[in-house]
């Protein structure tokens, strides 16, 4: 009789342990999952110009240029989100990637890339630091450094279908020369660059948009060089 009691007691203990184990597993599964860290992107290393054969200091080939802060008119100001559009569904809706962002607002990243490209052939100043150039004589009015203003109107990953997409960048550039009575407009141009994305995701978007930023910076530098010569 005691053997039967022992068997029943052992079965009860085993069943109770199984119930408590199940409760423990259910409790663990109910715990919140730690959030996944967002992938962080930038434009990558800046282009490094080839070292000249003569390493002695040389004067800039072109006159100095003042670069105003790039304004982001096409995206929320100060946002670091990486945006995409589904052109085949609703091209007017700007959507952020949930687990990806830029290291800085795109306008700031683009300004640094512009400064890198422009600075290869001239001194590039911040617009607030642009000083009056010395006059040649007392009768000649002082001339101010030419100022470049840029507005980032579009900077997004555009899908034309489920598996076809490109990084789209549109930049409006205005070049002016300040005078005592206002500003002289030297030129204005809209730069549009569209680079196919290597993959239909945030990583592909970051690669395409970074390449687009470098291409726009190169095209803009050539345009400015042609307009700002004395």
Its sign, for the CA torsion 213, 215, 216, 220, is positive
User: What's the pLDDT score for residue 136?
Assistant: 41
User: What's the pLDDT score for residue 141?
Assistant: 41
Cα–Cα distance, 36 to 177 (Å, whole number)? 49
Q: Which pLDDT tens digit goes with each residue over 58-81?
A: 544 788 999 999 999 987 778 999
User: What's the pLDDT score for residue 59?
Assistant: 45
Q: Is the separation of the CB atoms in 156 and 176 below 8 Å? A: no
Instruction: Give mean pLDDT, residues 76-87.
Output: 92
Cα–Cα distance, 79 to 81 (Å, whole number)? 6
118 contacts: CB under 8 Å, gap ≥ 6: 65, 67, 124, 148, 217, 220, 221, 224
Instruction: Give mean pLDDT, residues 157-180.
Output: 94
Task: Write the secondary structure of the chain as one string of H (helix), E (strand) and C (coil).
Answer: CHHHHHHHHHHHHHHHHHHHHHHHHHHHHCCCCCCCCCEEECCCCCCCCCCCCCCCCCCCCCCCEEECCCEECCCCCCCCEEEEEECCCEEEEEEEEEEEEECCCHHHHHHHHHHHHHCCCCCEEEHHHCCEECCCCCCCCCEECEEEEEEEEEEEEEECCCCCEEEEEEEEEEEEEEECCEEEEEEEEEEEEEEECCCCCHHHHHHHHHHHHHHHHHHHHHHHHHHCCC
Q: Which pLDDT tens digit goes with each residue over 132-151?
A: 444 444 443 445 689 999 99
User: What's the pLDDT score for residue 125?
Assistant: 92
Structure tokens at 15: 């069943």
Average model confidence (pLDDT) across the chain: 81
Instruction: Give mean pLDDT, residues 31-51.
Output: 72
């Amino acid at each position: 009789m005691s053997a039967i009691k022992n068997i029943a007691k052992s079965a009860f203990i085993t069943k109770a342990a199984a119930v408590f184990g199940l409760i423990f597993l259910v409790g663990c599964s109910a715990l919140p999952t730690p959030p996944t860290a967002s992938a962080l992107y930038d434009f990558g290393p800046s282009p490094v110009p080839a070292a000249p054969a003569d390493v002695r200091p040389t004067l800039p080939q072109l006159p100095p240029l003042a670069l105003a802060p790039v304004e982001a008119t096409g995206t929320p100001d100060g946002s670091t989100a990486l945006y995409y559009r589904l052109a085949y569904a609703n091209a007017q809706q700007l959507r952020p990637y949930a687990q990806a962002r830029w290291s800085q607002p795109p306008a700031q990243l683009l300004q640094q890339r512009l400064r890198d490209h422009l600075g290869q052939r001239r001194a590039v100043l911040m617009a607030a630091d642009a000083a009056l150039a010395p006059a040649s004589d007392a009768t000649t009015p002082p001339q101010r450094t030419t100022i470049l203003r840029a507005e980032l109107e579009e900077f997004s990953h555009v899908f034309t279908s489920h598996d076809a997409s490109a990084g789209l960048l549109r930049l409006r550039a205005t070049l002016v020369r300040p005078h005592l009575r206002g500003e002289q407009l030297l030129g204005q141009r809209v730069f549009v660059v569209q680079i196919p994305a290597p993959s239909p995701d945030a990583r592909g978007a970051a690669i395409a948009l970074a390449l687009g930023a470098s291409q726009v910076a190169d095209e803009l530098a050539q345009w400015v060089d042609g307009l700002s010569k004395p």
